[in-house]
Amino acid sequence: MLQFMRRFVGLALCGFATAAVGDVSGQGLDSRLRSLETTDAGRDWEAVGRLDRKGVGFCTGALIAPDLVLTAAHCLFDKKSLKPIDPTTIEFLAGWRNGRASAYRAVKRAVVHPSYVYDGTLSPNRVRNDIALLQLQRPIRNTTVTPFETDARPKKGARVGVVSYAHDRSEVPSLQEVCSVITRQEGVLVMSCDVDFGSSGAPVFSFEGDRPRIVSVVSAKARVEGKPVSLGASLADELALLEAQLTGTLTGSGMPTGVGRVQVGDPRRSDMGAKFIRN
């Protein structure tokens, strides 16, 4: 197996890249995208929603607690200036479908992984740490919107799925229930899942157990031997760090080495005027 993450080329800030991997076996098992257009079809996925910034572009996010949304860190940066945007300009539309959502919530604050750097390059470190938590202004207590639990990172060959929005299906989420983990290298998942602009931050699910659990977050799109793949960020310890930043559970000498509080947005300005990353 080639060390693919050292061979990224053709990067676009929207999340596209080209990679080389020696083995893409398992892609023949992939299911096609299934639209969750009806209420019945989308019933189990109401906690996945669209993240809008005043109607200018969007990402995908998923509720993991009544007031916490998990997404990709790069969704909180302006792709031109490379600066963070004001998170309070973002709205979470839970279960968004055909112009209506099961719940609407503004974002109160956000934290990104302390090791994440948005610098216009694609690297194992950037993809691995490409996660963020958004704290909502008010918890969602709607009984139809149940937060998802998270789980350990899946192994190579594991069957996973993705629920996401994209530029050509922005009004209705789609489910790819069967795709696979092609490989895991340097903390990054390479998956055969179908993603596109807008899919950034989309939850990657494991279907083991009685309810789907989130095991990764879509970070970028790449190609392997001419075939499209998606790259997923790690969760596990990284997610625990973000939760600690929000709750203040780990402070001072109790904070792990290299971890500090991250301020997303400029507290002195109510609107930075940055364009939301459309990926």
* Total structural domains within the chain: 1
pLDDT tier at 249 (50, 70, 90 boundaries)? low
- For residue 225, give both structure tokens: 């031997």
pLDDT score of 131 = 95
pLDDT bracket for residue 47 (50, 70, 90): very high
Cα–Cα dist 50/89, whole Å:
14
Residue with the two structure tokens 């001419």 = 226
pLDDT level of residue 67 (50, 70, 90 thresholds): very high
Residue 191 burial (CB count, 10 A): 29
- SS3 label, residue 172: strand
The answer to whether 5 touches 188, Cβ cutoff 8 Å, is: yes
Q: Got the DSSP string for 16-56?
A: EEEB--S--TTGGGPPPPEE--SHHHHGGGTTEEEEEETTS
Structure tokens at 93: 């539309």
Question: Does any domain span residue 91?
Answer: yes
Predicted local confidence at residue 8, as pLDDT: 39
In a domain, 267, yes or no: no
17 — phi, psi (to 5°)? -160, 170
DSSP per-residue letters across 79-131: TTT-PBP-GGGEEEEET-BTTB-SEEEEEEEEEE-TT---SS---HHHHHT--
Model confidence at 167: pLDDT above 70 = yes
Which residue type occupies 244? A
Residue at token pair 């995208």: 33
Is residue 101 one of the residues assigned to a domain? yes
CATH number for the domain harbouring residue 188: 2.40.10.10
Q: What is the mean pLDDT of the chain?
A: 78
Task: Return the structure tokens found at 116.
Answer: 């994440």
Q: Which two tokens stand for residue 24?
A: 């893409």
Tokens 């969602």 found at: 140
Check whether 3 has a pLDDT greater than 50: no
User: Which tokens is 167 given?
Assistant: 């530029």
Greater pLDDT, 250 or 239: 239
- pLDDT, tens digit, 9 for 90 and up, residues 187-196: 899 999 988 8
Give 55's pLDDT tier (boundaries 50, 70, 90).
low
CA geometry: angle 119, 192, 219, nearest 5 deg: 20
CA angle (53, 55, 66) in 5-degree steps: 50
pLDDT of 256 reads: 35
In a domain, 268, yes or no: no
Residue, of 198 and 5, whose pLDDT is higher: 198
22 pLDDT tier (thresholds 50, 70, 90): very low
SS3 29: helix
| Confidence band for 255, pLDDT divided at 50, 70 and 90 | very low
- The string of pLDDT tens digits covering residues 98-125 is 999 999 999 999 999 999 999 878 788 8
| Domain encompassing residue 211 | 4-248
Mean pLDDT within 56-72 = 94
205 belongs to a structural domain = yes
